[in-house]
Amino acid sequence: MKVCVVGLGYIGLPTALSLAANGVNTVGVDLNKNMVEKLQQGVLTFQEDGLDGLFAKALENGIRFTTQVEQADCYIVAVPTPYDSVTHKVDPVYIINAVKSVLAVCGDNAVVVVESTIPPGTIDTHVRPIVNGRVRLVHAPERIIPGNMLFELAHNARVIGADDEETGLFVKQIYQSFCKGDIVITDIRTAEMSKVVENTYRDINIAFANELARICRAGGMDVHKIIEVANMHPRVNILQPGPGVGGHCISVDPWFLVGDYPNESRLIHTARCVNDSMPDHVLTRIREVMAEENITDFKEIGLYGLSYKEDVDDLRESPTLALIERLKAAGISGVRVFDPMIETNAVDNQVYDFNAFLSGLKMVVVLVSHSHIKQNADKLRGLTVLDTRHVVFGPNVHRL
Ligand SMILES: NC(=O)c1ccc[n+]([C@@H]2O[C@H](COP(=O)([O-])OP(=O)(O)OC[C@H]3O[C@@H](n4cnc5c(N)ncnc54)[C@H](O)[C@@H]3O)[C@@H](O)[C@H]2O)c1
């Protein structure tokens, strides 16, 4: 049994390593030559807790990395699935190209598992026609959260959508090599929809929390206390407000439903707009806090956190990047930026040392709740803080 994982990004790489570390003959394929060369040299391409140990075990078990798709019994496709910013429909080009590259080398009856997140109907509309019955198609969406990927890969429940039970069971066996969670077999369209629904549910819940934050600000109430109390109700579970929603999943997947079902998805669309407007709200709050604290120069302000969430180095759809765009559009320059997880040069005025970042600042805007800021909150003492994540406490701390 040989598995070929196509696409070695945030999802494909940990999946390939988990398979290999658990004894499955695995080859990892990516178009990105630099990435493949790094992996061949034993260098990881992104940071994630525990990934280096898993990498070592996978290498010991003989995992290989290449830019060419090889013959295998099963292919796991984990390539990007962006949405078109005008139509909001999925852009299936990466999936189509990846499946075509598999078809060029695979034997008849191989199994092709699409792990990428796709809206319901994508396999039928975009993949089945090019496959033309030559391989067995499966959709097994990934649900892991960056920052806790390895635990979740091993313990989350999974769904496998297949055309017949035999194929579903075949793929289930492969995932069971590393996944101890429940694995449900269903049809492909149900699997496609369930994944999109999960992320849409979270987006709406966060939008609700963000709207509550605005209501509470307008009404002089403490949104965090209110959510804490409300969540003591056994059937209430409100998520936390923040500076916006980023990442490759929650801020993207709801658009698929808006794009395909515009007349039926008013709530989903509104939630997206609420979350996308949060960087504007943060900018309003920055101006308000500056006025309250008599801070007049934006050069005395620092933004803490660039990644889209805590303890990851992923910048995709990051609310901080959106805020920086808003600052630029308003003609504001010179705001300093620091993120302990980001070592590459991502934005103007980025500083790589925390003490150098703080030096001369009057105000820090906390945009990401990295463990680092929780451990270093005392260094913010004496400064004005606008904490959008509710992780810093003290007399000069302002909230959303
Ligand atoms: N990142 C997450 O937290 C997460 C969680 C669950 C699901 N997903 C979904 O998983 C999918 C992949 O996401 P990701 O975050 O791993 O993306 P990514 O951008 O990190 O990685 C995708 C990789 O695929 C490669 N690639 C593209 N086309 C290829 C091809 N034809 N052949 C070989 N390699 C190719 C790219 O070079 C890239 O390295 C997306 O559909 C995403 O929505 C992501």
Residue nearest to atom 31 of ligand 1 (CA): 98
Does ligand 1 come within 6 angstroms of the Cβ of 92?
Answer: no
- What topology is assigned to 2-188 in CATH? Rossmann fold (3.40.50)
Residues 193-220 pLDDT 10s: 999 999 999 999 999 999 999 999 999 9
Q: What is the pLDDT of residue 135?
A: 97
- Using CA of residue 46, residue 386, residue 221, residue 204, what is the dihedral sign? negative
pLDDT, one tens digit for every residue, the chain (400 residues): 999 999 999 999 999 999 999 999 999 999 999 999 999 999 999 989 999 999 999 999 999 999 999 999 999 999 999 989 899 999 999 999 999 999 999 999 999 999 999 999 999 999 999 999 999 999 999 999 888 999 999 999 999 999 999 999 999 999 999 999 999 999 999 999 999 999 999 999 999 999 999 999 999 999 999 999 999 999 999 999 999 999 989 999 999 999 999 999 999 999 999 999 999 999 999 999 999 999 999 999 999 999 999 999 999 999 999 999 999 999 999 999 999 999 999 999 999 999 999 999 999 999 999 999 999 999 999 999 999 999 999 999 999 9
Please check whether residue 45 is in contact with residue 13, taking contact to mean a CB–CB distance below 8 angstroms: yes
Determine the pLDDT at residue 147. 86
250 lines ligand 1 (CB under 6 A): no
Check if 118 has its Cβ closer than 6 Å to any atom of ligand 1. no
Q: Alpha-carbon dihedral of residues 367, 371, 373, 375, nearest 10 degrees?
A: 160
Burial (CB count <10 Å: 0-12, 13-18, 19+), residue 366: buried
Active site residues per annotation: 195, 249
| 122 and 148 Cβ atoms separated by less than 8 Å | no
Whether ligand 1 lies within 6 angstroms of the CB of 365 is answered as: no
Nearest ligand 1 atom to the CA of 81 is: 41
Name which of 143, 162, 133 is nearest 11 in CA terms. 143
The pLDDT of residue 248: 87
Q: What is the pLDDT of residue 85?
A: 87
User: Could you say which DSSP state residue 379 is in?
Assistant: G
Closest CA to ligand 1's atom 7: 142
Supply the residue whose CA is at minimum distance from atom 36 of ligand 1: 7
| Sign of the C-alpha dihedral computed for residues 160, 166, 167 and 170 taken in this order | positive
Q: Do domains 2-188 and 277-400 have the same CATH topology?
A: yes
Nearest atom (ligand 1) to Cα of 13: 16
Domain 277-400: give its CATH superfamily: NAD(P)-binding Rossmann-like Domain (3.40.50.720)
Start-end of H helices in the chain: 12-21, 33-40, 51-60, 93-103, 122, 128-131, 149-155, 165-175, 188-219, 223-230, 253-260, 266-276, 278-292, 319-329, 354-358, 371-375
pLDDT at residue 241 in the model = 98
**25-29/2-6 β-pairing:** parallel
**Contact (Cβ atoms closer than 8 angstroms) between residue 240 and residue 317:** no
| DSSP 8-state code for residue 28 | E
Ligand 1 atom with the shortest distance to the CA of 253: 43
- CATH architecture of the domain covering 197-242+252-276: Orthogonal Bundle (1.10)
How many angstroms does the Cα of residue 42 sit away from the middle of ligand 1? 20
pLDDT per position as a tens digit, 35-62: 999 999 999 999 899 999 999 999 999 9
pLDDT at 58: 98
The verdict on the CB of residue 28 being under 6 Å from ligand 1 is no
Q: Where are the domains of the chain?
A: 2-188, 197-242+252-276, 277-400
Q: Is the CB of 117 under 6 A from ligand 1?
A: yes
